Amino acid sequence: MTLHESSLDPTHAAFRRVLESGLGFSHVVRKGEAFRIVDLEGNQAVDTLFFSARDTAERYSAVDTIRRQGAVYLTTGSALVSSEGNVLLTITADTCGRHDTLGGACAAESNQVRYALDKKYMHNCRDNFLLEIAERRPELSKRDLTANINFFMNVPVSPEGELHFEDGISAPGRYVEMRAETDVIVLISNCPQLNNPCNGYDPTPVELLVWSA
Amino acid sequence: MPESSEWLHEEMLRGGQMASLVLKRGQILQLTDVDGGACLSVLLFNADFPLERYNMPDTLKAQHIARLTAGNVLYSDMGRVLCSVVADSLGWHDTITGVMDARVMTEKYGVGSYQALRNERHRNGRDNLLVELAKFGLGKRDFGPNVNFFVKVEPDASGQLRFITAHSPPGSSVELRAELNTLLVLSATPHPLDPEPRYLPKSVKLSIRAGKAATADDACFRSCPENARGFALTEAYFR
């Protein structure tokens, strides 16, 4: 894994927001703007979807992204490809080194399957997505919640076809930064999962920053 | 192997063709790669309530897998099992690399228009599946990660992917049993990573027979504790 730093100065950012774990968030990032997610305290999964702001039926596609780059993990240089085959954003800096796009978002129902039937009450990413779009993005609905990116999450796959959720490889202050190639809606759940090591069993805040083009 | 009289329905999908069908709970769909090297791209929905649909990440993480084979199940986004993989001669079916679209198809094979080729025209998985989805009032927003039966794209230790040629010999087959009433939308069209430079879509035979939904002694039910819970949620849905 190779790490790449950014030259952008957070004090010059046009937008800064600290997002607690367990909260949803959405924001429009314009073409040419830089968008950074900072893992403030380390080992925090940030479940993220992108939509074309012009037509939300065009959206981030995990499978098209994976196929186009011929690799399962995301890092510097990864083009985040849409369902129409266009590049929505490009990852331009990454001090973590690897991000997942196969593990998806936790949900009340999938938590029941994965952990125990009585885990349905626990907070989860899909509920964050659903509340955020219900409140602030009426053009979106459950139909639009497809396989997302999990920034800072470590989900290795093996040549034998296995997949595992493992301890994070991130650390306090590590970040990933991307350039929007078109106007995009960013939809985030700062993951509240307590049943696996994706957040080190201790979900923590992240910082979101946008620099003007 | 059942006698031919036991099949409720048999249909040959010509290479390049798409189809859709509803597999009722308990019924078994056998897919056969007639000539070898097929790619059958499939999207799955709860036929009674299509907002519930196949979820690739939930399927993979519940079973700790990055491919599909016998003993695995295909999860919906509501914690229920749409279909179980009850038999498989191959050991690996892809669900992480998507389908070809018109742009990639033209770059790869050149123009293969209807005007020039009539019904031998080049067809791609994305357009085919969009047409078939539309017959059920579904569209682009319902087009998530699909399954590519008979395809293997293998990751190495660093996550780099390699398309495995000649993965599926002639006569390869896989069987799906519906655990929910399942709408399947299918396209028998080349995989975008297949290095074959000519447009040579392969046929897939679809055969449906009667069966029974999984019980607690079923291999898919027993393959991991997650699946026992997934089947419990599925059972509860029909109670």
In three-state secondary structure terms, B38 is: coil
Structure tokens at B27: 């019924």
- Residue B236: phi and psi, rounded to 5, are -60, -30
3-class DSSP state of B119: helix
* Residue among B51, B57, B155 whose CB faces A103 most closely: B57
Backbone dihedral angles phi then psi of residue B182, each to the nearest 5 degrees = -120, 125
* Contacting residues of B for A164, CB less than 8 Å apart: 64
The secondary structure of chain A in percent helix, strand, coil, rounded to multiples of 5, reads: 20, 30, 50
- Say yes or no: B224 contacts chain A, CB-CB below 8 A: no
Task: For residue B59, tell me if it sits in a domain.
Answer: yes
- Report the C-alpha dihedral over residues B158, B163, B164, B170, rounded to 10 degrees: 150
B9-65 tens-digit pLDDT: 999 999 999 999 999 999 999 999 999 999 999 999 999 999 999 999 999 999 999
- Asked if A63's CB is within 8 angstroms of B155's CB, the reply is no
Q: What is the pLDDT of residue B3?
A: 64
C-alpha B91: how far from its chain's center? 14
Complex-level ipTM beyond the 0.95 threshold = yes
Q: Which residues, other chains included, contact B174 with Cβ-Cβ below 8 Å and sequence gap of 6+?
A: B30, B31, B70, B85, B87, B88, B89, B90, B93, B149, B150
Q: What confidence tens digit (pLDDT) does each residue in B70-127 have?
A: 999 999 999 999 999 999 999 999 999 999 999 999 999 999 999 999 999 999 999 9
Question: Global pTM?
Answer: 0.98
**pLDDT surpasses 70 at B2:** no
- Residue A7, judged by CB atoms within 10 A of its CB (0-12, 13-18, 19+), counts as exposed
Q: Which domain holds residue B54?
A: 8-238
pLDDT at A197: 87
Domain for residue B1, yes or no?
Answer: no
Number of A:B CB contacts under 8 A? 138
Q: Indicate the DSSP class of residue B193.
A: T
Low-confidence ranges of chain A (pLDDT < 70): none
A213 touches chain B (CB under 8 A): no
Q: Is the CB of residue B50 less than 8 Å from the CB of residue B136?
A: yes
**CB < 8 Å to A114, chain B:** 61-62, 226
Inter-chain CB proximity B67 and A161 less than 8 Å: yes
Element (H, E) at B59: helix B56-63
Maximal CA-CA distance, chain A: 48
Which residue out of A52, A67, A117 would a mutagenesis test of the B interface target, given it has the greatest number of B Cβ atoms within 10 Å? A67
- Distance between the two ends of chain A, CA-based, in angstroms? 28
Cross-chain CB nearest to A107 (options B65, B77, B104): B77
Q: How far apart are CA B238 and CA B46, in angstroms?
A: 13
Sign of the C-alpha dihedral computed for residues A176, A54, B51 and B221 taken in this order: negative
Token readout for B196 is 């074959």
Q: Are B228 and B84 in contact (CB under 8 A)?
A: no
**Interface mutation vs chain A, best among B46, B58, B224, most A CBs within 10 Å:** B58
Q: Examine the pLDDT at B182 and tell me if it is beyond 60.
A: yes
The radius of gyration of chain A from alpha carbons, rounded to an integer in Å, stands at: 16
The mean pLDDT value of chain B amounts to: 97
CA-to-CA distance for B141 and B124, rounded, in angstroms? 18
B2 assigned to some structural domain: no
| Spatial CB neighbours of B94, under 8 Å, sequence gap ≥ 6 | B67, B68, B147, B148, B151, B152, B153, B191
CA–CA dist B156, B128 (Å, integer): 31
Tell me, yes or no, whether B61 lies in a domain. yes
Q: What is residue A32's DSSP assignment?
A: T
Number of other residues whose CB lies within 10 A of the CB of residue B198: 7
pLDDT above 60 for B1? no
B39 in any annotated domain: yes
Q: How far is A114 from chain B (nearest CA, A)?
A: 5
Question: What's the confidence (pLDDT) of residue A60?
Answer: 98
β-bridge pairing B40-46 and B73-75: unpaired
A31/B contact by beta carbon, under 8 A: no
Q: Between chains, do A63 and B145 touch, taking CB under 8 Å as contact?
A: yes
Number of domains in chain B: 1
Task: Find residues 88-147 of chain A whose CB sits inside 8 Å of chain B.
Answer: 98, 102-105, 107-110, 112-114, 116-117, 142-147
Q: What is the pLDDT of residue A193?
A: 95
Distance, CA of A79 to CA of A134 (rounded, Å)? 29
DSSP label of A39: E
What percent of chain A lies above the pLDDT cut of 70?
Answer: 100
For residue B35, the model assigns a pLDDT of: 98
**Chain-chain contact of A113 with B230 (C-beta, under 8 angstroms):** yes
- State the sign of the Cα–Cα–Cα–Cα dihedral A151, A153, A159, A162: negative
pLDDT on residue B4: 62
Give the whole-angstrom CA distance, residue B232 versus residue B221. 9
